[in-house]
Amino acid sequence: MNKLICFTLALALGAGAAEVSVSGSLRSRVEAWDWFTGSPYTFNGNILRVAITGKQEGWSWNVELAAPILLGLPTTAAGGTGASYLAANDRRGSSAMIFPKQAYVNWKGLKVGRFEFVDGTEFMPSNPTLAALKRDHIAHRLIGHFAWTHVGRSFDGFHLSKPVNGMNLTVVGAAPTRGVFQVDGWAPLKIGFGYAALSGGKKNYDWRLFSLSYKDWRTPFQREIQTYGGHLLGTVGQFDYLAWTAIQHKGNATALEGGYQPKGLHWKPWLRGGVFHGSANFFNVLPTPRIYARLPFYNLMNNQDRFGSLMLRPHAKWNIRGDFHALRLANAKAPYYSGGGAFQPWTLGFVARPSGGARSLGNLADIGVDFNANKQVSFSAYYGKVLGRSVLKQQNAQFAYAEITYRFQ
């Protein structure tokens, strides 16, 4: 365990607290894949998280342990998350580990230690439409905790969040940990990033300006990337709009979206559509790609995405969402990419596959259902199918899962 985590644990557990609480969750998911190679498989992934939180006047601490458990991984899979878990864990059919997911001290908005962080969530609006847009269409694009996988990603360093004249100033300096697909999430990687953002907004709009410096010291993946960008989103009556951009020395990415929520309809439909462009030289840094690719065979690099979405809310406990994505490469001479960034010392974290000089990637149609039974139990199910086009040599893929989450405190 690194010195920063040891120091944080000693400080947190040795100082005590006026108020101590225990909370946690257990999530279990069965995933079924039929990758482009035509080799279907299923496996089971689980993660148990238990956190102890202490509070004193002016400061607090949090120590959280995580235990990912992977069962029945496919030993011959050529793609999909099952193949990624298998390759990341010495090709073992089942794997498990316990490691510190979080261990930090928080003093007046300054966190020091190991924590989770997601870019775009620094300032959360009270408007439920804007909050949903930030959660599902802004957050995780460049820095994410990748909690959708059965391991996830944490960060070792510091996180400062301060109110400034009605706005929020966030500064983060940290190193990502191992994890994501590898069950061993103990050690940090030889990667560092510095992030600064100024965020604000009112009832009907939200904005952010940010700067992100990323450096990778791992051999042979050394690189240094500077990214500047921001977002603006808002509502006008029953309509909403969103703009996001990120600019790098050799690459750039932009998203433009709009939505409409008609009033008076029983299932409260929300229609949305938009376009995304990520250049061939754009570097996706450390995202949670599954937020934007629910069947995660692509990411924001060398990508053009035209999408339409329909969300239905037939009941306060139910959410239904269906998407359609028409996907093309931004540059036919460059590869098409998948993956969510570094998670091991010996892999880049992004996979590049040849385009064959083509641009048309595929059409993805999917549907997801979420049901919150109560405060403790929730269920999710998803099915997606991609019809491969010329880049994928007309091959198709399918992905489905069923998931249950239990929370306790």
User: CB–CB of 286/342 below 8 Å?
Assistant: yes
Alpha helices in 89-216 (DSSP H): 128-133
> How far from 349 is each of 174, 219, 277, 336, CA to CA, in Å?
18, 13, 21, 14
- pLDDT at residue 14 greater than cutoff 70: no
Over residues 117-133, the pLDDT tens digits come to 999 999 989 999 999 99
Over residues 202-220, the pLDDT tens digits come to 999 999 999 999 999 999 9
CA torsion, points 176, 227, 196, 135, in degrees to nearest 10? Answer: -70
By residue count, the chain amounts to: 409
The CATH fold assigned to 3-408 is Porin (2.40.160)
Percentage of residues of the chain with pLDDT beyond 90: 92
The model scores a pTM over 0.85? yes
- pLDDT at residue 8 greater than cutoff 70: no
Of 303, 304, 364, which is closest to residue 335 (Cα–Cα)?
303
Confidence of residue 9 (pLDDT cuts 50, 70, 90): low
- Classify residue 301 by burial, with Cβ atoms within 10 Å: 0-12, 13-18, 19+: buried
pLDDT, position 5: 67
- pLDDT at residue 242 greater than cutoff 60: yes
pLDDT, position 17: 62
Over residues 42-90, the pLDDT tens digits come to 999 999 999 999 998 889 999 999 999 999 999 888 899 999 999 999 9
Which single residue is written with the structure tokens 């405190």? 409
